[in-house]
Amino acid sequence: MELDSKTIGLTVGLFILLGSIGTIYYVTNPDITYYCNDTNVVGMCFKLSNINEAGIQSRCYYNESTPTKYKICTTGWIKYKEDKVIGEPTNLPTYIEILPFVIQKDFIKKTDAESYITTLKTGKKIDVSILKTEQRPFSSEIEVFWKVRIYEEYNEMDVKCEELECFDVLIIKQNVIAEEILTTKFDENADENMINQTIQLNAQEWFSRWQPNIIISK
């Protein structure tokens, strides 16, 4: 479709909340225009994530210059089949794909590597701490910096003495397996509860996809 100066085209990075009234945006590239049912939003995605266990593609990667950024749709992004969109721009939370933390380890057999990965993650816990929040310049977004750790707890006995009496004390300690500092961007009006919940979800997803980097020599 050819657009004139009075016609507004749907552009990359613009997500429209559909409505019965509002601005009319014409679909300029139908091959990469998708719809999310749970948020009733249309946007352009240069690629989608792989089909997950639920049979949907939940991530819309919308910025080719920063290919780890994505918008999420819990019901799955599907092709938008209309030639125009009626509604107004909306801010969906932006997530950042987290690359796996790297631990280098060599294995002779693939089965040994698979067993190592399974054992390493079994029984491990994660904790998350927010480090700082920064206002992005010339933007209505804030960037939240946070740290996630994978750790395991173990018990250690110690002796504590008070005056003339000594007794055993059980101390719970932590062994950190991996940690990483990450960032997530939010609309500047996002409240504390939304930020905390989103970061917790990001941390759980990071842990589910995390695995050490291994080398199999044969």
Domain boundaries, the chain: 8-92, 98-216
Give the pLDDT of residue 216.
Answer: 58
pLDDT at 167: 74
For 151, the enclosing helix (H) or strand (E) is: strand 141-162
Q: Report the range out of 75-89, 102-116, 151-165 with the highest average pLDDT.
A: 75-89
pLDDT tens per residue across span 161-202: 777 777 777 778 778 888 888 888 898 888 999 999 999 999
160-177 burial string, b = 16+ CB within 10 Å, else e?
eeeeeeeeeeeeeeeeeb
If one counts every other C-beta atom within 10 angstroms of the C-beta of residue 45, the result is 20
Q: Is the pTM of this model over 0.85?
A: no
Which residue is it, tokens 């941390």?
A: 203
CA distance 105 to 112: 11
For the ranges 6-10, 72-76, 158-162, the maximum mean pLDDT occurs at 72-76
| Average pLDDT value for the chain | 83
Q: What is the pLDDT of residue 79?
A: 96
> Which tops the pLDDT comparison, 40 or 214?
40
The pLDDT value given to residue 61: 93
Average pLDDT over residues 52-60: 90
HSE, CB side, 13 Å, CA atoms: give it for residue 94: 24
The residue with greater pLDDT, 81 or 212, is 81
Smallest Cα–Cα separation from 44: which of 76, 8, 10, 69? Answer: 10
Q: What percent of the chain has pLDDT over 70?
A: 89
Q: How many CB atoms lie within 10 A of CB 207?
A: 18
Distance separating alpha carbons of residues 64 and 79, to the nearest angstrom = 19
Which is nearest to 43 in space by CA: 16, 68, 65? 16
